[in-house]
Chain A
């Protein structure tokens, strides 16, 4: 499985943008980049995903490097509710190998 590397923890001030980095140097051409977050005592929550182009949705933006070896999840204006563990995951199109391989993620702390 292609692996991702994320910082163990990050801090950000409330109402400021947050950039969460992820390295995936062994990514294959068919791997999609997915981001999930997990709030305390809850299951993971889908945030965003992309293949090659930058993506935006109501929760966040995903910036993907041109060589696809890294990506950045952008929270445009952090709130206290964004405090969570964020997971960057590569998902292949290989039918029969649909699993999500979670790493340790980045624990994001929001400072009021």
Chain B
């Protein structure tokens, strides 16, 4: 198993800028999800992709968008960054269905100044 890898590990952006975070899913997994984790809180679901289409979305505005590629890698894009977007962004992959566990990456720490 190759695990889930995310890049970059740390990033500093200015308010109003745009950012793209990248994720490579674990080999054999066909879904990828993104989570936002603010300091001291549990991860919050942003959205999930399956077969390159969005398959569920949490309570995040449209400026959070994503892509899943045929090789099951994924991107999270955030436009018009706000200070409150500062957080750890986690990517997780799995097989579709509740009888499978998720494999999480180590995350990208985004700081918006």
Residues in A lying within 8 Å of B, measured CB to CB: 30-32, 34, 36, 41-46, 49, 51, 85, 87, 91-93, 95-105
Contacts and interface: CB of A to CB of B under 8 A. Distances in A.
Given A97-B56, A98-B31, A99-B33, A43 B104 contact: yes
6 contacts: A46-B101, A49-B101, A95-B55, A95-B96, A100-B33, A100-B45
Interface residues of B, number: 28
Interface in B46-81: 48, 50, 55-56, 58
B42 A104 contact: yes
A44 B90 contact: yes
Interface of B: 4, 31, 33, 35, 41-45, 48, 50, 55-56, 58, 90, 92, 94, 96-99, 101-107
A1 to B, nearest CB: 10
B43 A98 contact: no
B64 to A, nearest CB: 14
Contacts of B92: 43-44, 100
Nearest to A50: B99
Nearest to B107: A43
Nearest to A105: B42
A98 B56 CA distance: 7
Nearest to A49: B101
Contacts of A92: 98
Contacts of A44: 43, 90, 92, 102, 104
A99 B102 contact: no
Contacts of A45: 104
A103 B44 CA distance: 9
B42 A98 contact: no
A102 B45 CA distance: 9
Q: Which 6 A-B pairs have the closest CB atoms?
A: A102-B42, A43-B104, A46-B101, A99-B45, A93-B98, A91-B98
A30 to B, nearest CB: 7
Contacts of B56: 96-99
